[in-house]
């Protein structure tokens, strides 16, 4: 039950009624919506809204909504949204596992997301977590702050080196690729990746980097796509997860697969919590003191699996991988453009590069609609239907 939900109304005379379930950073997104003739009802509180509170905000009419990854836009909420006249929904996130896309599509509701602007920020955080876990930064900092540091010691918090080791990424989409490049080019790691699709751009980039190293008399790095997750887990020193969350990836990392990993491996997750069976991970961390985990996401956020907070060999962050001001403002702009474009009757953007939307003169299009193809929405610049 939400006790204190406060809705600010911006541009009350606006023609289209838009519900935004959390105040978003920056001002540009709001200018985009009001510029498109929207009246915006925005919750300014910090509490996660439940379905009843969101439904109440729809009132008798709601044309569009921007929601959060913490909210379940399930069939019930989407039905209420449709009934109120909902024509487009955008998640304020690149991930959209919280939205029932099948139902949205059946209702003819386009669902937007915010890719592109959080690739580097998320990859950088995965890098930070990798080093934090391998070099035991959390434990060492807690030790220091507790006043236990008595001076330099030869074996104080000895960790693992990353350079030259084998990196395994599961999911080689945009974020996985950016992280892999940072680690391979920065730390000369050899890369294994598992993805249902080959990533040629990644393997070619690494091949060019290997040639560059070789030409300078340095050992070249390698890149290989593994046939199975198991093969990658057995061979990698660092494993980082960059998959979407769906039925195929739920508990992808379970007790059995943890058992295949090296005893002193590092496991990083900046994707979605339920990709790891967190109870199994707690047990594994407990029974394998040299194993390390760096986690930004959890199976039942904001709760942690019992015992996880006690595991010194895990570095834990409160889902902040994309939390840079530029990124979060960019996400707000993309979500607003998704909504403004579709209520204005514009088509869907035709490319993965969404940077034109971050300029003062964004294209008349929706930057990213995940069910555009199924809804056969027209595509920008082609006059065609989405293909």
Active-site positions read: 272, 301, 319
Query: Binding marks (x or -) toward ligand DGY, 111..150, rule CB under 6 A?
Result: -------x--------------------------------
Going by their DSSP bridges, the two strands 16-20 and 38-43 should be labelled as: parallel
d(CA 272, CA 148): 35
Closest contact distance (angstroms) between CB of 146 and ligand DGY is 32
Taking CB under 6 A as the rule, does residue 241 contact ligand DGY? Answer: no
379 has which bridge partners?
A: 348
CA separation, residue 3 to residues 48, 49, 53, 147, 348 (Å): 11, 10, 10, 41, 38
Question: DSSP label at 31?
Answer: H
Closest contact distance (angstroms) between CB of 324 and ligand DGY is 10
Can you say whether residue 201 is alpha, beta or left, with left for phi > 0 and alpha for psi between -120 and 50 degrees?
alpha
> What is the strand order of the sheet 88-91 is part of?
7-10, 38-43, 16-20, 64-67, 88-91, 111-112
Closest contact distance (angstroms) between CB of 66 and ligand DGY is 13
As a three-state string, the secondary structure of 310-363 is: HCCCEEECCCCCCCCHHHHHHHHHHHHHHHHHHHCCCCECCCCCCHHHHCCCCC
Closest contact distance (angstroms) between CB of 331 and ligand DGY is 7
Nearest to 74 by CA among 46, 106, 44, 45: 106
- C-beta closer to ligand DGY: residue 25 or 95: 95
CA separation, residue 158 to residues 110, 154, 239, 313, 354 (Å): 51, 8, 20, 12, 43
Half-sphere exposure of 174 (CA within 13 A, CB side): 14
- Angle at 316 (CA atoms; ends 314, 320), nearest 5 degrees: 150
Taking CB under 6 A as the rule, does residue 94 contact ligand DGY? Answer: yes
- C-beta closer to ligand DGY: residue 163 or 302: 302
Taking CB under 6 A as the rule, does residue 275 contact ligand DGY? Answer: no
Q: Are 316 and 304 in contact (CB under 8 A)?
A: yes
Residue span binding ligand DGY (CB under 6 A) among the ranges 17-25, 59-67, 88-96, 188-196:
88-96
With CB under 6 A as the contact rule, the residue among 18, 54, 69, 109 that binds ligand DGY is: 69
Q: Are 206 and 221 in contact (CB under 8 A)?
A: yes
- C-beta closer to ligand DGY: residue 245 or 314: 245
Taking CB under 6 A as the rule, does residue 95 contact ligand DGY? Answer: yes
Closest contact distance (angstroms) between CB of 118 and ligand DGY is 5
Closest contact distance (angstroms) between CB of 208 and ligand DGY is 30
CA separation, residue 231 to residues 82, 143, 215 (Å): 46, 37, 30
Taking CB under 6 A as the rule, does residue 368 contact ligand DGY? Answer: no
Helix (H, G, I), strand (E, B) or coil at 133: helix
Q: Are 248 and 101 in contact (CB under 8 A)?
A: no
With CB under 6 A as the contact rule, the residue among 20, 88, 93, 304 that binds ligand DGY is: 93
- C-beta closer to ligand DGY: residue 301 or 374: 301
Query: Binding marks (x or -) toward ligand DGY, 317..346, rule CB under 6 A?
Result: -----x------------------------
- C-beta closer to ligand DGY: residue 25 or 378: 25
Closest contact distance (angstroms) between CB of 167 and ligand DGY is 21
- C-beta closer to ligand DGY: residue 208 or 325: 325
- C-beta closer to ligand DGY: residue 160 or 250: 250
Write out the residues near ligand DGY by the rule CB under 6 A: 69, 93-95, 118, 322
């Amino acid at each position: 039950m939400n006790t204190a939900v406060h809705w600010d109304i911006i541009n009350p005379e606006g023609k289209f009624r838009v519900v935004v379930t959390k105040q978003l950073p920056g001002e540009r997104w709001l200018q985009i919506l009001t510029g498109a003739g929207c009246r915006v009802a925005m919750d300014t509180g910090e509490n996660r809204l439940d379905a009843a509170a969101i439904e109440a905000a729809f009132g008798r009419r709601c044309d569009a909504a921007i929601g959060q990854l913490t909210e379940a836009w399930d069939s019930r909420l989407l039905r209420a949204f449709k009934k109120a006249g909902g024509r487009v929904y955008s998640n304020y996130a690149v991930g959209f596992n919280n939205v029932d896309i099948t139902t949205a599509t059946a209702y003819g509701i386009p669902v937007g997301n915010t890719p592109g602007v959080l690739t580097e920020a998320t990859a950088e955080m995965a890098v930070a977590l990798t080093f934090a876990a391998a070099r035991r930064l959390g434990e060492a900092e807690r030790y220091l702050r507790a006043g236990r540091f008595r001076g330099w010691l030869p074996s104080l918090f000895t960790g693992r080196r990353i350079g030259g080791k084998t990196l395994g990424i599961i999911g080689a989409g945009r974020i996985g690729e950016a992280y892999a490049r940072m680690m391979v080019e920065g730390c000369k790691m050899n890369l294994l990746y598992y993805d249902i699709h080959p990533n040629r751009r990644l393997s070619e980039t690494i091949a060019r980097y290997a040639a560059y190293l070789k030409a300078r008399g340095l050992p070249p790095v390698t890149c290989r796509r593994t046939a199975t997750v198991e093969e990658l887990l057995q061979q990698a020193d660092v494993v980082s997860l960059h998959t979407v969350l769906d039925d195929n990836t739920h508990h992808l990392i379970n007790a059995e697969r943890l058992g295949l990993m090296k005893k002193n491996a590092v496991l990083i997750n900046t994707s979605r919590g339920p990709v790891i069976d967190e109870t199994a991970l707690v047990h594994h961390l407990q029974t394998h003191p040299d194993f390390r985990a760096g986690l930004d996401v959890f199976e039942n956020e904001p709760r942690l699996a019992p015992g996880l907070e006690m595991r010194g060999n895990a570095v834990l962050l409160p889902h902040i991988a994309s939390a840079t001001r530029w990124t979060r403002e960019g996400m707000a702009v993309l979500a607003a453009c998704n909504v403004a474009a579709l209520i204005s009757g514009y088509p869907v953007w035709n490319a993965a590069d969404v940077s034109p939307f971050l300029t003062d003169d964004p294209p008349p299009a929706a930057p990213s609609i995940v069910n555009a193809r199924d809804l056969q929405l027209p595509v920008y610049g082609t006059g065609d239907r989405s293909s």
